[in-house]
Amino acid sequence: ATLVRVQRGGSPSAQTEGKLTLLCDAKTDGSFLVHHFLSFYLKANCKVCLVALIQSFSHYNIVGQKLGVSLTAARERGQLVVLEGLKSGVDVFFRPREEPHPLQFLREANAGDLQPLYAFVRDALQPVDSGEAAWRCPVLLVDDLSVLLSLGVGPVAVLDFVHYCRATVCQEWKGNVVCLVHDSGDTEDEESDVLLNGLSHQSHLILRAEGLATGFCKDVHGQLRILWRRPLQPTTHRDRSLTYQYKIQDKSVSFFAKGMSPAVL
């Protein structure tokens, strides 16, 4: 798949470590990218922390099995740490208030900051010098950040959370962070725009899945725009973006150049 080529050869190398990748979708569902990155990093033997706020663990597991990884097995051997937002969100209300919980902001009247969530991520991915076979770089996957806005967290608080994850996971531990946000598009959602624009500035790589401008199509599910930001050297934008169209199949996603779908030719 082209996404693997985007990551330069299918394994995290020095060039692709310490990066924040932003997944963004507009008028379509970009969650296939989350599943891709999850299976990609698990196969690459990285330590992965998945903050799953949208779907249950079994959903990711089922899709992961189609992509060739077993999330249950990864969790059991300690490679994967999952925060299941749907389940543990309820726990927040049944626990004593003094115990810190990653989704503590759900209890607060004024959803303050996401420091407890950051602390959870930091503890999950902290490199451990235990002498055993170390995993490759730590990876944080968040699915997704837009739902935090719906839960009452301000966009600046979400940006701060991503900032800290970037400072710790990317900068300090040379790991990668992958986050999914939704582009509200034409709807005048200022908070969503601030979040998306702020994240775009922080990101090294932006993958944007868009629905086709002409509407739904059976054979071409959407368009993927890839933009590299923060290159090592300031170059002209010409080299920095690519566009592909894609079709999601049962076990994979096929990419092709615009207008070159096999169904259309």
Q: Which is nearer to other proteins, 116 or 152 (CB)?
A: 116
- Alpha-carbon distance of 129 to 205, in angstroms, equals 30
| CA distances for 166 relative to 33, 55, 205, angstroms | 20, 24, 13
Q: Does 265 bind other proteins (CB under 8 A)?
A: yes
Q: Does 200 bind other proteins (CB under 8 A)?
A: yes
Q: Does 225 bind other proteins (CB under 8 A)?
A: yes
Q: Does 229 bind other proteins (CB under 8 A)?
A: yes
- The least distance separating other proteins from the CB of residue 65, rounded to whole angstroms, comes to 32
Q: Does 257 bind other proteins (CB under 8 A)?
A: yes
Q: Which is nearer to other proteins, 84 or 193 (CB)?
A: 193
Q: Does 77 bind other proteins (CB under 8 A)?
A: no
- Alpha-carbon distance of 31 to 181, in angstroms, equals 10
Looking at residue 257, the DSSP 8-state letter turns out to be -
Q: Does 144 bind other proteins (CB under 8 A)?
A: no
| C-alpha dihedral sign at 195, 201, 202, 208 | positive
Q: Which is nearer to other proteins, 63 or 124 (CB)?
A: 124
Span near other proteins by CB under 8 A; candidates 60-68, 137-145, 193-201, 214-222: 193-201
Q: Does 198 bind other proteins (CB under 8 A)?
A: yes
Span near other proteins by CB under 8 A; candidates 9-17, 85-93, 129-137, 162-170: 162-170
CB 162 within 8 A of CB 179: yes
Span near other proteins by CB under 8 A; candidates 33-41, 135-143, 200-208, 214-222: 200-208
Q: Which is nearer to other proteins, 20 or 74 (CB)?
A: 20
- Alpha-carbon distance of 86 to 158, in angstroms, equals 19
Closest CA to 264 of 214, 221, 211, 220: 220
Q: Does 109 bind other proteins (CB under 8 A)?
A: no
Q: Are strands 20-26 and 176-182 parallel, antiparallel or unpaired?
A: parallel
- The least distance separating other proteins from the CB of residue 79, rounded to whole angstroms, comes to 25
Q: Are strands 205-210 and 46-52 parallel, antiparallel or unpaired?
A: unpaired
Mapped onto helix, strand or coil, the DSSP state of residue 15 is helix
- Alpha-carbon distance of 46 to 86, in angstroms, equals 25
Q: Does 202 bind other proteins (CB under 8 A)?
A: yes
- Alpha-carbon distance of 205 to 241, in angstroms, equals 10
H-run or E-run covering 214: none
Residues near other proteins, by CB under 8 A = 24, 26, 113, 115, 118-119, 156, 159-160, 163-164, 167, 171-172, 183, 193-194, 196-198, 200-202, 206, 208, 225, 227, 229-230, 232-234, 236-238, 240-242, 257, 260, 262, 265
